[in-house]
Structure 1
Amino acid sequence: MKKLLFTLIIVTAAFSAAKAQYKDNSTELGDKAFENKDYYEAAYYYKKSAEGLSLIKREAIPYHSGTKNVKKGNPKDRAYISYRLAESYRGYENYLEAEGWYYQVLDEGYESGYPLTRYWYGVCLRANQHFDEAIKELKIFQQNYKGEEKYKTMAAKEIKNCLFAQNEYEHPFLLEVKKRKGVWNSDGSDYAITHTNQKTYFTSSRFVKNDKTHLNRVYMAAGDDSPQVIKFKDDDGIKDIEYGTPTFSADGQRMYFTRWYKVGSKITHEIYSSNFAGNEWGKPQKLNTHVNADGYNSIQPYITADGKKLFFTSNKPGGLGGQDIWVSDLDADGTPLNSKNLGDKINTAMDEQAAYYDVATRRLIYSSKGFTGLGGFDFFEANNKNNVWSVPQNMGYPINSAKDDLYYMPDTHDQKKFYISSDRESECCLNLFEVYDKSFIVKGIVTDCDTQTALPGVKISLVDSLSKQTIAHLISAKDGVYQFNIVTHRPYNLVLEKSGYFTKVLPMPESGKVLNDTLYSPDICLQAFKVDKPIIIKNVLYDFDKATLRPESKLVLDKVVTILKDNPKMKIELAAHTDSVGTEAYNKKLSQQRAQACVDYLVQKGISESRVYAKGYGELKPIAPNSLPNGKDNPAGRQMNRRTEFTVLKIE
C-alpha cells in the first residue's frame, strides 16, 4: 500500500481487475501506473516483468547476500525494468527493495543509460542505515556525474546526512519511541493524532468493510475504545473524497482538516472547517483565499491552543519552493484574516510540513527535508523571540529516523510523553508512535574545598565534550546548588569557574551521577589559591637519597596535571624542599633534582615546559623546626619539611 502523506490510495478493486493482464503487457501497465505516479501499482507490474525475465532472485536483495543473479532476456530490457522497479519502490519509499534493483543496473554496467542510478542507490543505502557504503557511492557519483549540477549538490547534502546520522545513532537523545499498540495502527496509514475534550482524533486509511476502500478518514476514539469514523453532514458527494489531519478550535466545537480528491490525474488539497452542532459535524466549509489559493495545495492545519492562529502547509505563491509553513491570524469566528510565510529561517527550497506551535513557550516543531538530517522528513525545533525565529535545530535520533517523521503532538496529561507519526517500521505507511522523555536532572552542590561550605558565585557550565559547545550555564546562589537537564547520551563535562579558585572540569557519566572528585575532597569543591602562595602537594614520595618518583607519587602528580589542563592559562612553580640532614649544598642539589623529576613527569603528561618551573630550595624554607628546643631531633618537623609544593606564578 502506498504511503500516505497526502496522496490517494490505490483502489484495490481496480487494481485487482488488471492483474490478469500482466503476462502479456505487465511492463506497459507498469509504465502507465508509473506515469500516473501510482508507484505501488507500478512496482507490482514491473515485478511481474522482472519475474518473466528472471532478473534477480528475491533472496539476492540486498545485493550483498551472496546469491548469484540469474541473467536472462534482453539486457536492455533487464536494465529498463530494474531501473523502473527501483524507481517505483523508491516512489513509495520502500528503500529496502529499491536498493537491490538500483544495484542491478550498476552491476550490469548500464549506469550510462541511467546516470542517476548511483545517486539513488546511495540514498537507499543511507535510508537503510548503511552509512559508510552510502558515502562511498555518493562520492563516486559526485566525481563521475556529468549532468545537472543540482544532483551533485543533492549528493553533498546526502553525505552530510550520513555523517550527521552516524553521530546521532552513536549519541541518541534520551527518548523511548514505541509503536502504539491496540486499536491505533491498522493495515493502512495511521497518523496526525490530536486531542480535544478528552477524546483522541487521528487520520487513518484503514480498510472499511462497508465501503471496501482504504480512503483516508478522520477517526475519533474515547480512551482505548475502537475508533469511530467521523462523517460530515451533507458533503457534496464528490467520489473518493479523503479527509485528514484534524485540529480544533479552543472549545473543541470547530474542526479544521485537509480535504482532498482526485480529478483525472490531478489531486486537489484544500483546508476546510466543520462546526459541531446537534451531535454531528456539519457540512465542511472551505477556508478563504488567504489559506486556499486557486490552483495550489494547502494542507495540515494546526490551530494554536488560544485559537488565535492557524499554521498550515502550502505551495502557494510567496514561498521559498516546494511546500512551506505559513501562519494566519484568525478572527473571533475562526476565519483567516491574512497569511504569512514563516520565512527563510524556517522554510527551505525543499518541503516543510506539519507545524505544531506552543503559544506559551513560542516553540515551533515541524518537519523538513531541507536541512541536514537523518533522511526523509525530520523534526526540527525553533523558537520565536521578538518576532524573530531562531535557527531550526534537528531534534535528533530516535525521534527522527532514516525515513519520514511528522505530526508532533504532546500528550494532554503526561508532560514526559508525546506522539509522532512515522513509517520507520513500515515499507509503505505512516504509523502512530508514542515517545517517552527519559531525560533526567543532574543536581549537586559546589563547595569551598577548605571550608566545606556552600560556594556562591561559581559559573557552572554543561559542555558537550565532543563538540565543545556549551549547552547551558548558571551562577551558583548562596546555597551553592546547581542543576542541569540532561537530554542525550552524549558525553558532557561540568566546568566550574570562580575567580580565586582553580577551574575544575569534571566528566559526567551517562548515568548522571558525577563520580567522586578526589583531587582535594570527595565532594565537588573548588580549591582556593593566591598567586605566589605555595600549596603543599601531599604524598609525593621518593626513595631515600634519590630523585626517582615512586608510582604512588605519580598518582598524586596526575592531579596537578588535571589542574593545569583545566586551567590552561596558568603558570606554576613546582618546588621541592628537604630537612636539615646533610649539607646545605647537597640538600639544594637533591631538592632541585626532585623538583625537576616532578616537572619532567608533568611534561611527559602533556603539559608545556613553558608553564612549569622546577625549583629546589633544599633546607632554606622550613615550615617546622628540624630540632626541638632541647636540641634533640624533631622527626615530625623534619617530615613536614620534606615536602613538594606548587605555587601559581601568574595567570595569562
Structure 2
Amino acid sequence: MYYTTDTRPRAPKINFMVVMLLALLLSACGTGRYISKGDKRFGQEQYQRAIEFYKQALPNADNKGELNYKIAEAYRLSNRISEAEPFYQAAISGNFRKEDAYYYYGLALKANGKYEQSLKELQDYIRVGSNNRLKALAQQEVENYSNLTEILRKNENFEVRPIPGLNTDASEFAPFVLNNELVFSSTRGGKEYMGNGEGFLNLYAAALTDTAVGAIRPFEGVNQEEIHEAFATFIDEGRTMVFARGNEGSRKGRQNVDLFWSTFRSGAWTEAKLLNINSPQAWDSSPAFSPDGKTLYFSSNRRGGQGGHDIYKSTLENGRFSTPVNLGPEINTKGNESFVSVGPDGTVYIASDGHPGLGNLDLFRIEDGKPINLGKPVNSPGDDFGIYFQDEYTGYFSSNREGGQGGDDIYAFSRSKRKTVNFFVDGTLYQRREGAKQTTVSNNVVVLQNEQGQKVDETTTDANGNFTFPLDSASTYSLVSEKQGFFTARQRVTTVGKMPSQDQLPEQENEVRLTAELVLNQIVKERAIVLENIFYDYDKADIRPDAAEELDKLVQILVDNPRISIELSSHTDARGSDAYNQDLSQRRAESAVEYIISKGIDRSRITARGYGESRPVVRNAQTEAQHQRNRRTEFKVVRVD
C-alpha cells in the first residue's frame, strides 16, 4: 500500500459565475467605449474611423441592428454605398426599424446590380415611408427602372480597357489631357483623410504613350498639404486652369469645396484665387470649360437647385464670370448631377444618379437639351463619371466598377466609327366588343416575350393606347396583352433581315422603328370562330402539316387563355350521304382534338363535335368556293372559369 501526501499550496476556490459576469462586464465596457468613439468620429465626418470602431464593437453589441445601420450609413456618407449593402441588410434583419434603411438598402442593391431586389425594396419604401423627400426620390428610382431594359440593350460601340501603370489601390479619377500628359486626381500618397480612409486628393500628371502611361508626377505649384485638390480643367492652350479645392475641415458654417483659378506664368502656376461664382453655403466642384473657353460648367448644391447637386454654367467676360445659370429640370433632377465635361464638338457630358441608369452614377451626353444614357460598357452598376473626350472617338473616364485596382480607376475608351442602329417597335392596343366599333385601350399592360416565351420587358399603354419597346437586332418577339373578358392579344414582331446597310444610315447612331397593332377580342360564349386553312386529304381525317400549323395557333390561344374551355367542330359540304358526312366530320374533329391534346392542353378543356353537312354557311352551295366555305373547322367557347 502506498501513501501520498500533496505538499503544494492549494489554490483558492474560484466562483466561475463571478468570473463570467466580470468578463461580460468588461466586454460590455469595451463595446460601449468603441461605440462612443465611433459616434464621435461619425459626428466629425471621419467615417472610416467610425467604421473601424463600430466593427470592433459589433461582435458583443446588444443592438447589432442599430450598429449595422451606423456602419452602413458611414459607408454611404463616404460615397461607398455598394459596400453598405450587407450592413443595411443586417440592420433590417436585426429588426432595426429606422425606415430610411429600407430606402438606402434599395440604392445599395442597385449599386451592386441587383435590380429586381432593389426595385422591390424601393416599392416597399414608397408604401410605408413617411419621409416625403426620400419617397419622391424612391418614386423616381422606380420610374427609372422602366427604362432599364432599353439601357441594357443600348450599344454605342464603346470599347473599354484599363490603363497599365496608372491605377493603384487608391482612387484615380477626373482625367484631362494637356500637352500629351494625362492630368488626373488621386488619393495616392500623403496623409490619410479620415472621411474615407484614403489619402487627401491631389493633382497628378502622367506622360501618355500609345498603350499605357509613363512617369507620373505631382502637378507642381497647386497641391497643398491636408487639403483636397481635384478636377482640373484648362483653357488658353493650358495656361489657365480652374480646379476644385477644399474640405480640410477648418472653416465652420460653410460648405468647404470651392472653385479656384490659376494661370501659368514664368514657368510656374500663380497662387490660386477663388472664383467669384462660388457660393459660401454650397459645395462647388467639377468644373469644365467649353472648347472656346467662354463657358464654364460646374456642379453645385447651392440653394434654388432642382435637388442635390445640379449643373450650372457661367460665361467668361473680361476676366470675370457671369452669374451662374442652372441648366434646368430637363437635365437636373431631385438626385445629383455632377462631374461635367465638354467634348471637342461642344457636347456636354454629365454623371447623374437621378436619371435612369445602371447604377449609382451613370454617364450621359446632353442631346437636344436632354440627357442620353451612354449605356454599357461605359456604364456599369458601379459609379461611372468624369468622362473626357480626347477626340470624337477616344478618351478616358472614371469608374469604381468591379475588377478595378482600387476605389476609383481611370479607363480608356475608343468608339467604333461604324454606324449603329437601335430598333424599336411602336404599337397600339385596341379592343373589339361584339357589335361595337374598335377602340383603343389605355393603362393596360403589354408584355414583350422572346421566342422562348420568356418575358423580356413590360410596359403600360398611354392614354391613347400606345406603347413602345426597344428591340435587339436579328431577333423575334411576341407582343402580348391581357384583359378580363377578352381573348389574350398576341402579335409576332421581328427585326430579322431589317438591318439597313451602312450606306443607307444617315447618322452615326440611327433608329429603325417598326409598328404593330394588338387587338383584344371580346370572349362571346357559343359564338363560332372559323379556323382558316384547315384542310384534309380526300376521305381522310389525318392532320396534314399545313393543318397542324393552323391548329398550333389554337393551341396558343388555349395557352394564353387558361380559363376557357372550347368545343372544336368539323363540318363537311352537302356532297355525299348524311351518315357518311357525319362520321367523317366527327373523325376529323377528334383527330384535331387529339393533336391539340398532344401539345399539352388538358383533355377536359376541349370537346370534339362533328356536324357533317347539317350546319352549312352557304345553303344550296353550287360553286367549289361555296363548298369550300362549308368544309370548315370551327371552335367556340363553351365555358369560362
Q: TM over 0.5: same fold?
A: yes
- 1:283 — aligned with what? 271
Q: Distance in 2 between matches of 1:418 and 1:278?
A: 31
After superposing on structure 2, the runs of 4+ consecutive aligned residues of structure 1 that deviate more than 6 Å are: 21-24, 209-213, 509-514, 540-550, 552-556
1:464 equivalent to 2:424? Answer: yes
Cα deviation for residue 96 of structure 1 reads 4.8
- 2:411 — aligned with what? 433
Q: Distance in 1 between matches of 2:149 and 2:37?
A: 40
Q: Distance in 2 between matches of 1:107 and 1:176?
A: 41
TM-score, with structure 2 as normaliser: 0.60
- 2:358 — aligned with what? 374
2:239 to 244, 249, 253: 253
**Alpha-carbon spacing, 1:379–1:555, altered in 2? closer, same or farther (3 Å):** same
Q: Distance in 1 between matches of 2:372 and 2:427?
A: 15
Q: Distance in 1 between matches of 2:314 and 2:351?
A: 19
1:205 to 187, 202, 224: 187
- 1:295 — aligned with what? 281
1:31 equivalent to 2:44? Answer: no
The 3-state SS of whatever aligns with 2:55 is: helix
- Is the Cα contact below 8 Å between 1:298 and 1:315 reproduced in 2? yes
Cα deviation for residue 199 of structure 1 reads 2.4
- Is the Cα contact below 8 Å between 1:204 and 1:219 reproduced in 2? yes
1:193 equivalent to 2:175? Answer: yes
1:137 equivalent to 2:121? Answer: yes
Cα deviation for residue 591 of structure 1 reads 4.1
The 3-state SS of whatever aligns with 1:263 is: coil
CA deviation vs aligned residue, 1:366-399 (integer Å, no higher than 9, x gap): 1222223233222222235xxxx3x323333332
- Is the Cα contact below 8 Å between 2:141 and 2:354 reproduced in 1? no
1:158 to 141, 146, 151: 141
**Alpha-carbon spacing, 1:433–1:130, altered in 2? closer, same or farther (3 Å):** same
Cα deviation for residue 306 of structure 1 reads 1.3
Cα deviation for residue 47 of structure 1 reads 0.8
Cα deviation for residue 509 of structure 1 reads 6.6
- 1:527 — aligned with what? none
2:95 to 101, 109, 114: 109
- 2:599 — aligned with what? none
CA deviation vs aligned residue, 1:221-240 (integer Å, no higher than 9, x gap): 2222122111217x8x7x52
CA deviation vs aligned residue, 1:541-572 (integer Å, no higher than 9, x gap): 9968999997479999x9xxxxxxxxxxxxxx
**Alpha-carbon spacing, 1:396–1:600, altered in 2? closer, same or farther (3 Å):** farther
CA deviation vs aligned residue, 1:316-361 (integer Å, no higher than 9, x gap): 3443343221111123x6532443222222222332112223474x
Cα deviation for residue 27 of structure 1 reads 1.2
Structure 1 vs Structure 2 CA RMSD: 4.4
- Is the Cα contact below 8 Å between 1:250 and 1:305 reproduced in 2? no
Cα deviation for residue 188 of structure 1 reads 1.5
Look up the equivalent residue of 2:176 and give its one-letter code.
T
Q: Distance in 2 between matches of 1:344 and 1:442?
A: 29
The 3-state SS of whatever aligns with 1:153 is: helix
- 1:564 — aligned with what? none
- 2:399 — aligned with what? 422
1:393 to 372, 377, 396: 372
- Is the Cα contact below 8 Å between 2:232 and 2:244 reproduced in 1? yes
The 3-state SS of whatever aligns with 2:256 is: strand
**Alpha-carbon spacing, 1:189–1:265, altered in 2? closer, same or farther (3 Å):** farther
- 1:263 — aligned with what? 249
Alignment of 1:501-540 (within 5 A): 507-508=495-496
Cα deviation for residue 79 of structure 1 reads 2.4
Cα deviation for residue 595 of structure 1 reads 8.0
Give the paired residue count.
446
Q: Distance in 2 between matches of 1:548 and 1:596?
A: 19
1:339 equivalent to 2:324? Answer: yes
- Is the Cα contact below 8 Å between 2:361 and 2:382 reproduced in 1? yes
Instruction: Return 5+ residue gaps in structure 2 as ranges.
Output: 1-28, 429-469, 477-492, 503-533, 553-619, 637-641
The 3-state SS of whatever aligns with 2:395 is: strand
Q: Distance in 1 between matches of 2:327 and 2:120?
A: 37
The 3-state SS of whatever aligns with 1:225 is: strand
Q: Distance in 2 between matches of 1:42 and 1:427?
A: 24
Alignment of 1:455-604 (within 5 A): 463-465=423-425, 490-491=472-473, 507-508=495-496, 551=545, 589-592=623-626
The 3-state SS of whatever aligns with 2:264 is: strand
- 1:47 — aligned with what? 55
TM-score, with structure 1 as normaliser: 0.59
Look up the equivalent residue of 2:411 and give its one-letter code.
F
Look up the equivalent residue of 1:154 and give its one-letter code.
L
**Alpha-carbon spacing, 1:200–1:44, altered in 2? closer, same or farther (3 Å):** same
Q: Distance in 2 between matches of 1:419 and 1:510?
A: 34
- 2:390 — aligned with what? 411
**Alpha-carbon spacing, 1:440–1:307, altered in 2? closer, same or farther (3 Å):** same
Cα deviation for residue 81 of structure 1 reads 1.4
Q: Distance in 2 between matches of 1:200 and 1:427?
A: 18
1:365 to 341, 345, 349: 349
1:356 equivalent to 2:364? Answer: no
Percent of residue pairs identical: 25
Q: Distance in 2 between matches of 1:314 and 1:303?
A: 15
Alignment of 1:88-127 (within 5 A): 88-111=74-97, 114-127=98-111
- Is the Cα contact below 8 Å between 1:274 and 1:284 reproduced in 2? yes
